[in-house]
Structure 1
Amino acid sequence: MNTMVSVGETGKVIDINRIMEMIPHRYPFLMVDKVVDVFADVSAVGIKNVTINEPFFQGHFPSRPVMPGVLIIEAMAQTAAVLVVETLGPSAEGKLVYFMSVDSARFRKPVGPGDQLAIHVFKERSRGNVWKFRAEAKVGDTLMAEATYAAMILDN
């Protein structure tokens, strides 16, 4: 079942069911609930609704719950993986996307329960099975984190 919905000039919306067809990640490591404003080969916005029920909040940190920065970076990578599959088509579904590098990562403000994280991913370039991206994670208009990174798409 194809659950992609066209939303005019704002791009496509990809729901959680379609995301799970596109990338192999599953709970508790699936870090994206929905991907909106998808423009193949250009950009996408991943949405992560951060709730107190997240397993990492039990230990990070119980008195001041903060989403770990590495998981924000992982949400960036998963959003990019959805963009790659949308760009390459069905032959890319379920393939693994491995980090090759993470550069210029900056964490500006903590992300916590109740936040809706919007992960803006922009393709910078691709050559063969190597892709480079730039991403910004925001809550509303506030920049929470940013990074550039490269990933390699491989068969399972």
Structure 2
Amino acid sequence: MTDETTLAPLPWGRDVIESILPHRDPFVWVSRVVAIEPGQSITAELDVPADLDIFRGHFPDHPVLPGVIIMEALAQAASIAMLQAPDLRGHIGFLAGIDGAKFRRQVAPGETVTLTGRIVKSSRRLVVAEVEASVAGEVCATATQKYVLA
């Protein structure tokens, strides 16, 4: 992570996201960052392509973005926020736990999911975030996620 990213104007696109996260296609689940308080909170978005290959099997007659992908998108968004804390730059966050996950609304092809995360605990070893995914203001999923830093 370079100092240039901290100066980059919002929204941050794929180039900035990939300078922070180790993920690459086909497993980057954040399209853009629209607001961030480094080490504290984030609002990001995921554009869900209608032609996403995963919809061929989940489910052919009723395509729905899998809940595990929503959880991964939330983890990636929260990781961007935590990895922008000056003392955590250059680390990698590994998802270590998901507590109290609730799925309230399905996500369909073509929708844009708003991903929010608030870091509630942070140390050099463990980070805990409260996360929420929504579409057009309607909550899709919530959880408390834990990440181990390496």
TM-score, normalization by structure 2 = 0.91
Q: Stretches of 4+ moved more than 2 A in 1? A: none
Match of 1:120 in 2: 116
1:52 and 1:87 map into 2 onto residues whose CA distance is: 34
2:80 to 79, 82, 93: 82
Match of 2:104 in 1: 108
Contact 2:33 2:44 in 1 (8 A): yes
SS at 1:87 equivalent: coil
1:125 and 1:14 map into 2 onto residues whose CA distance is: 25
TM-score, normalization by structure 1 = 0.87
Matching residue's letter, 2:147 = A
Contact 2:40 2:82 in 1 (8 A): no
Match of 2:41 in 1: 43
Once superposed, what is the RMSD of the aligned Cα atoms?
Answer: 1.6
Matching residue's letter, 1:124 = V
Task: Name structure 1 gaps, 5 residues minimum.
Answer: 6-11
Cα deviation, residue 153, structure 1: 1.4
Contact 2:118 2:131 in 1 (8 A): yes
Q: Deviations over 1:55-108 (max 9, x none)?
A: 21111111111000000000011001111121136x723x32111110000000
Contact 1:46 1:75 in 2 (8 A): no
Q: Indicate yes or no: 2:136 matched with 1:140.
A: yes
Match of 1:67 in 2: 65
How many residue pairs match? The answer is 146
Match of 1:8 in 2: none
Percentage of pairs with the same residue: 29
SS at 1:14 equivalent: coil
Q: Indicate yes or no: 2:26 matched with 1:25.
A: no
Contact 1:16 1:34 in 2 (8 A): yes
Contact 1:125 1:133 in 2 (8 A): yes
Task: Name structure 2 gaps, 5 residues minimum.
Answer: none
SS at 1:76 equivalent: helix
Contact 2:58 2:66 in 1 (8 A): yes
